[in-house]
Each structure stands twice: as C-alpha cells, then as structure tokens.
Amino acid sequence: MAGEKSVAFVAERQIPPSPPPVRTGGALGWARDNLFSGVFNTVATLLSLAFVAYILAMVVPWLFLDSVWNASSLQGCRAVDDGACLAVINERFLQFVFGFYPEELRWRPILAFVLLFVAIWPALFSSAPRKLLIFSALYPLLAYWLIWGGSLWGPVGAVVGIAIGWACIRFLPPVARGRLDEGLAFLAAVGAGILGAALWWLFCVIAFEEALSAVLAIGLEPVESARLGGILLSTIIRVTAIAGTLPRG
C-alpha cells in the first residue's frame, strides 16, 4: 500500500547448509556421475561387474572353500580336494618368516624387532624420555649383534670409534681456535674426527675385540648371512634403507 515501508529481513544466525539430495550426493551420487552417467558407461560398468563376479566365483572356492592346508605332498592335496594346495604354507610358515635361521636362536631376531619400537619411540613422540635417544643411537649395533651374533666386543669396538670421532669434534675446536678462525677450526676437528674413527675401525678394532675376548669372552653363537631369509631379511633391508635415507630427509 502507498505510504507503507517494507522492512528487510535480517538473519540473526547462520543457517546451516542442508544435505544434498540422495541422488546427487554420497555413494549413489558418485556412482551415478561416474559409473552410470551414460549408455556407454552403464554397459561398461555392468560388463566389468560381471567379469569380476565371474573371476571371484572361480577364485574364492579354489583359494578358500576347497583349499587344502594339511597334506604331506602335492599328491596328498590332490587326493583330498581340487582346491589350492596351501599345505606348504602351513608346513613352512616359520621358514617364510625366518628363512633358515636356527630354530633355537629365533628369539634373537624377535627381540631385535621388539627393541626396534623402543628405539624409534623417542624419534616419533616428543613425550618420550630424551635419554632414550642414546638407546636409539646404539640400537643398530645391538640389533646387528643380536641377529648375526659373535663377540660383544665387536659392536663395543665400533662404539669406541664413534666416541673417538665425537671427542675430536667436541674438544679440538677450542684447542685450534687460537691458531685458526672458528670455521676452519671446526672443519679441522670434523676431519680429524672422521680420520680418527676410520683409522680405529681399520687397524685397531679387531685387536681390541680379540684382546677383550681373551680376558672376558661375552658373545652369542654366530649365524651366517646365508641363513637369513624370508620376512626377516626383507625387514632388515627395508629398515636399513629407510634409516639410511633419514639424514638426507
């Protein structure tokens, strides 16, 4: 009416969005847009589903329903049923895990695997005690000793080489700072640390191991690398490769 003013509506709160229609959202909407959006896509989808169903109808009974898990030979499997002969998995499962690692010594790689989680704990979680980083640094040598065995003094000798390198880097810069500037003093200390550790490992560590073994023989039964296999060997390779890439990001 003339002379009257209309008052504009102002929302006092944000209206929440409404869910999309069932046919346009969710799994049904995705299937309609991507699998049944046209005649060609519909026919291709139905043919693909029929092919998958045909394969599953053959594979599932052969692999799960009619498979044989207990038999002494392939002929024994065939005598029981026509399904997959999986008795070898049941018979050789531990060999798939450990390879030819001696059965009575398998506790050693198991312990090394458990300690791996202790070693990576402080690297993954800031709430872990910082002192555990010392164990993380020593874990590779401990795991090597547990898996391959031998004298304990071999890994200890390797740690001594690391300590020599660290001592050079830590204590040589203040000594050389009076003759060299700070940057050159640090580089010289790093070079001396690398050289000192390398010389120790090349010429001294074997004599160190033999001398301490003669005084106090502490060791585990050696296991040849040829006896490692299966999941154990794959895990060692993967963990070593991943750990080797960490310093380079």
17-69 pLDDT tens trace:
877 665 666 777 788 888 888 899 999 999 999 999 999 999 999 888 888 88
pLDDT, one tens digit per residue, over 201-227 is 999 999 999 999 999 999 999 999 999
What does the buried/exposed string (b/e) look like for 62-96 if buried means 16 or more CB atoms within 10 Å of the residue's CB? eeeeebbeebeeeeebeebeebbbbbeeeeeeeee
Contact 220/180 with Cβ under 8 angstroms? no
Kindly state whether residue 18 falls inside one of the protein's structural domains: no
User: Does 16 map to a domain?
Assistant: no
Q: Is residue 176 assigned to a domain?
A: yes
Residues 229 and 100 sit within 8 Å (Cβ to Cβ): yes
Please indicate, yes or no, whether residues 104 and 46 belong to a single structural domain of this protein: no
User: Is the pLDDT at 142 greater than 90, yes or no?
Assistant: yes
Q: Are residues 235 and 172 in the same domain?
A: yes
Rounded to two decimals, the pTM is: 0.69
187 in the same domain as 233: yes
Count of domains for the chain = 2
List helix spans (H) across the chain. Answer: 26-34, 39-60, 74-80, 87-98, 107-124, 132-148, 153-176, 182-199, 205-215, 230-245
How many whole angstroms separate alpha carbon 111 and alpha carbon 147? 9
Tokens representing 100?
Answer: 């030819």
- Helix (H/G/I), strand (E/B), else coil: 52: helix
pLDDT tier, 6 (very low <50, low <70, confident <90, very high otherwise): low
The pLDDT of residue 134 is above 50: yes
Q: Is residue 44 part of a domain?
A: yes
What is the rounded average pLDDT for all residues in the chain?
86
- Residue 118 in any domain: the answer is yes
Instruction: Give the range of the structural domain holding residue 220, as residue numbers without chain letter.
Output: 92-248
Distances in Å between the Cα of 190 and the Cα atoms of 158, 169, 203, 243, 244 are 18, 5, 20, 23, 21
| Placement of tokens 């005690």 in the chain | 129
How big is the chain, counted in residues?
249
C-alpha 92: how far from chain center: 24
- Domain stops at, among 90, 105, 129: 90
In a shared domain, residues 46 and 67: yes
